[in-house]
Amino acid sequence: MFFEAESEGLHYQVSVSESKTHWRVGTREGDKDWVYRDIRKEDYRYLDETISFLYKDTSYLIDVLNKGTEYTVYTRGAYRTFKVYNEEALLHESLKQGGGVGAGNNLSSGMPGKIVKIFVKVGDKLKAGDPILIMEAMKMENEMRAVGDVTVKEILVKAGENVESGAELVTFTKA
Amino acid sequence: MFKKVLIANRGEIAIRVTRTLRELGITSVAVYSDADRNGLHVMLADEAYHIGPPPSKESYLNIDKILEVAKKAGADAIHPGYGFLSESPEFARAVKAAGLTFIGPTVENILAMGDKLASRDLMKKAGVPCVPGTDGAVPDAESAIQEAKRIGYPVILKASAGGGGKGIRVVHDEKELPGSFRMCQSEGLNYFKDDRVFIERFIQNPKHIEVQVFGDTHGNVCHLYERECSMQRRHQKLIEESPSVSVPPDVREKLGAVAVQAAKSIQYVGAGTIEFIFDNKTKEFFFMEMNTRLQVEHPVTEFVTGYDLVKEQIMVAAGKPLSFKQSDVKQKGHAIELRICAEDPVNFTPNPGKIRKYRMPAGPFVRLDNCAYPGYEVPIYYDPMIAKLIVWGSTREECIQRLQRALAEYMLTGIKSNIVLHKNILVHPAFLEGNYTTQFIDQQIAGKKHRELFMFVDDDIFLISAAIEAYNNAKSRDVGDYNLASKWKRYGRLKSMRNL
């Protein structure tokens, strides 16, 4: 089975095949050579708690979190997220979710939090670096600033309001 | 002695207090907000009461509600833990007025040390050395610029009532000053309802050294030696240890004596900590502030001295004298605490969410003060610290080796944590030598890529595991044998690959 994979700006091709006793995992980063590894199923075991993966005689406990085509692998305090997909996986996801998400050049919250103070009003012309608002997330106050020169179109939140992760806070038009 | 004690807190510290209460045969009463119904502190206490919605202001900071619950439960004392209401004179006063005992210092103690400006004046009078700075609050950005010029850059802006890393800003030049001043005032107003800001010299290459003190109602005050808390990020402590390798024996004695002198000058009662900024070159120390509560890092002192500080707090609150004299207190071996937080290990942004797998370290001389478990959702409303790993060793070297071992056993998945950051710090030469300063993280870690921190893992692991899981998922979705169904496609791909 073939997949494409992406992580941190790198692109990979991946092939996985299976025999009774092994997985054969081929990976190819960019246009480098393919590298094949035979992983004994014996060495990649699902325990109740986690996956025990013996790789090159080193013992890793790993956990893989899968959301749609995203796979986050955790081990030894390290983690890495890959988008792993092929036509079949993408089709499956699009059927499950419907359309994609449109992202404009608007200010949205990176995490759930609370709006503490808003410095701008509709119609304000901002320069890059101008403060827009202060948002509090997990006890820390963060000043959000304009990244480019913009005009404030709408303000979708009020001071004191709690916002969800990804919520649009302020929309702009180009100055 | 108390029969029933309410703990006006959450998370690991609520559990810490519950443990000592149970050991003393005292019934423990937990409180929880809507966000903490699944909190471990609720499960481990004898009784638990709901106190309101998730925001702290409406639950853990709601004095009326907490007192109402304490009465309903029939508690005779309240332990405030750290943070929240632990240093609120209004709360201590209200607890007393309700006929209950506040397990902590007197209202006068809290008032004396709660205001940074007033406390500094008080300490100056008591003969405790202080850092150069403004004599009072600075009214506006204009005068801040004047004052900073006089004191000399870099300077540090502090909200008068600030603490825990809130309301503190370092300013390197005049250009940064007005913006930072505004933020400092805003944080002071929002967190502490006080927008007064003062300015101090920012000491370069500083170490944070603090001294644990303890007073009782019989006029005894002892110190339990120092803790070094120089390893910080965002002005919040990350690693604490006792003893500090930077403090020579004669300075250690002096630190202890000055701390006792400071505490005695205000007739201090209960557990307190006097924080000093320590110049590692000159070995000078200056008073910064006194925390009139139990500290997050109290376990390192418990490990090296052998005293249960929470038990001591309860006994002192019940009117008993301290169980030790100054001459009884010895520093034995070495203890280090690592704060385990749900946050990105490189940029330190909080990363709340659901924990998937959780395996805790154990074994000889390992203590984990923890509030997480598999499936636990770290709430967004509170501090991201989920556990403290504290380890004792007969020497600092043994202690660090043991910490490395304990971290290797620690597994936490589903959210980002700073476990891997700790692993990196524990092998860093500056930490091993002990000559790190409060700027260590900024200078050695900030700007690193995640992959640099992940040096303990063969990078192959990630993609191989993701590939196997993606394969298994596809297989489970598909009706037929995938290898078979795509045989022609696979043949074509393999063929084209061979031609490459």
Q: Are residues A10 and A91 in the same domain?
A: yes
Q: Are residues A34 and A88 in the same domain?
A: yes
pTM of the model: 0.79
Q: Are residues A153 and A77 in the same domain?
A: no
Is the distance from CB of B293 to CB of B310 less than 8 angstroms? no
Cα(A125)–Cα(A174) distance, integer angstroms: 9
Residues of chain B neighbouring A63 (CB-CB closer than 8 A)? 356-357, 411, 413-414
Whether chain B has a CB inside 8 Å of the CB on A167: the answer is: no
Q: Which domains does chain B have, with CATH numbers?
A: 4-103 (3.40.50.20), 132-201 (3.30.1490.20), 206-453 (3.30.470.20), 460-498 (no CATH)
Does residue A124 sit within a domain?
yes
Give the chain B residue nearest A26 (alpha carbons).
Answer: B464
Does residue A74 sit within a domain?
yes
Does residue A16 sit within a domain?
yes
Question: To the nearest whole percent, how much of chain B has pLDDT over 70?
Answer: 95
Q: Which of B383, B418, B442 is nearest to B202 (CA)?
A: B442
Q: Would you call A5 helix, strand, or coil by DSSP?
A: strand
Per-residue model confidence (pLDDT) at position A112: 75
A6 has pLDDT over 80: yes
Does residue A59 sit within a domain?
yes
- Pick from A49, A55, A139: which is nearest to B357 by CB? A49
Per-residue model confidence (pLDDT) at position A129: 77
User: Which residue, among A2, A16, A63, would best test binding to B if mutated, counting the most B CBs under 10 Å from its CB?
Assistant: A16
Cα(B139)–Cα(A88) distance, integer angstroms: 65
Q: Which of A81-90, A144-153, B173-182, B485-494 has the lowest mean pLDDT?
A: B485-494
CATH of the domain at A139: 2.40.50.100
User: Which residue, among A75, A118, A133, A165, would best test binding to B if mutated, counting the most B CBs under 10 Å from its CB?
Assistant: A75
CATH of the domain at A44: 3.30.700.30
Contact B469 A64 (CB under 8 A): yes
Q: Chain A 80-109, CB below 8 Å of chain B: which residues?
A: 80, 82, 84-86, 88-89, 92
Question: To the nearest whole percent, how much of chain B has pLDDT over 90?
Answer: 79
Per-residue model confidence (pLDDT) at position B38: 96
Cα(B12)–Cα(B29) distance, integer angstroms: 15
Contact B187 A53 (CB under 8 A): no
Boundary (domain end) residue, out of A97, A128, A148: A97
Q: Are residues A22 and A84 in the same domain?
A: yes
Whether chain B has a CB inside 8 Å of the CB on A143: the answer is: yes
Per-residue model confidence (pLDDT) at position A100: 28
Sheet with B155-163: strands ordered across: B166-171, B155-163, B197-201
| A79-93, B62-76, B476-490: range with highest mean pLDDT | B62-76
Give the chain B residue nearest A23 (alpha carbons).
Answer: B468
Does residue A102 sit within a domain?
no
Contact A88 B382 (CB under 8 A): no
Facing residues of A40 across strands? A22
B486 has pLDDT over 90: no
Q: Are residues A77 and A123 in the same domain?
A: no
Boundary (domain end) residue, out of A77, A97, A117: A97
- Pick from B166, B183, B416: which is nearest to A79 by CB? B416
Counting one residue from A and one from B, how many pairs have CB atoms under 8 Å apart? 184
Cα(B119)–Cα(B115) distance, integer angstroms: 6
A174 burial (CB, 10 Å; 0-12 / 13-18 / 19+) is exposed
For B11-45, how does the pLDDT look when each residue is reduced to its tens digit (9 = 90+)?
Answer: 999 999 999 999 999 999 999 999 999 999 999 99
Q: Which of A23-32, A120-129, B87-96, B208-217 has the lowest mean pLDDT?
A: A120-129
- ∠ at Cα B394 (B390, B395), nearest 5°? 90
Q: Are residues A168 and A145 in the same domain?
A: yes
Find the mean pLDDT for residues B439-462: 91
Q: Are residues A63 and A123 in the same domain?
A: no
Facing residues of A6 across strands? A11, A83
DSSP state of B336: E
Positive or negative: CA dihedral B195, B54, B43, B8: positive
Per-residue model confidence (pLDDT) at position A167: 81
Find the mean pLDDT for residues A9-24: 95
Q: Are residues A50 and A135 in the same domain?
A: no
Write out the residue range of the structural domain in which residue A118 sits: 107-174
Per-residue model confidence (pLDDT) at position A108: 78
> For this structure, is B339 an active site residue?
no
- Pick from B383, B451, B469: which is nearest to A66 by CB? B469
Tell me the ipTM for this assembly.
0.76
Per-residue model confidence (pLDDT) at position A102: 32
From the list B196, B293, B339, B402, the catalytic residue is: B293
For B120-129, how does the pLDDT look when each residue is reduced to its tens digit (9 = 90+)?
Answer: 889 999 999 9
- Pick from A3, A63, A110: which is nearest to B470 by CB? A3
Q: Are residues A113 and A134 in the same domain?
A: yes
Question: Given the structure tokens 């916002």, which residue do they identify?
Answer: A163
Per-residue model confidence (pLDDT) at position B203: 85
- Cα dist from A132 to A112, A137, A173, whole Å: 17, 16, 14
Tell me the pLDDT band of B478, cut-offs 50, 70 and 90.
low
For B312-329, how does the pLDDT look when each residue is reduced to its tens digit (9 = 90+)?
Answer: 999 999 999 999 999 999
For B231-250, how does the pLDDT look when each residue is reduced to its tens digit (9 = 90+)?
Answer: 999 889 999 999 999 999 99
Phi-psi domain of A10 (left: phi exceeds 0; alpha: psi -120 through 50; beta: other): beta
How many domains does one find in chain A?
Answer: 2
- Pick from A17, A82, A134: which is nearest to B462 by CB? A82
Residues of chain B neighbouring A74 (CB-CB closer than 8 A)? 356-357, 412-414
Give the chain A residue nearest B468 (alpha carbons).
Answer: A16
- ∠ at Cα B53 (B48, B54), nearest 5°? 90
- Cα dist from A114 to A169, B83, B240, whole Å: 11, 20, 31
- Cα dist from B78 to B32, B49, B410, whole Å: 15, 14, 33
Is the distance from CB of B230 to CB of B437 less than 8 angstroms? yes
Tallying the residues shown for chain B, one arrives at 500
Q: Would you call B412 helix, strand, or coil by DSSP?
A: strand
Q: Are residues A19 and A93 in the same domain?
A: yes
Residues of chain A neighbouring B462 (CB-CB closer than 8 A)? 7, 73, 75, 80, 82
Boundary (domain end) residue, out of A54, A73, A97: A97
Strands (E) across B108-202 are located at: 155-163, 166-171, 197-201
B154: closest CA of chain A, how far (Å)? 22
Q: Are residues A115 and A92 in the same domain?
A: no
Is the distance from CB of B183 to CB of B169 less than 8 angstroms? yes
Does residue A38 sit within a domain?
yes
- Cα dist from B73 to B59, B84, B99, B100, whole Å: 17, 21, 14, 12
Q: Are residues A21 and A65 in the same domain?
A: yes
For B43-99, how does the pLDDT look when each residue is reduced to its tens digit (9 = 90+)?
Answer: 999 999 999 999 999 999 999 999 999 999 999 999 999 999 999 999 999 999 999
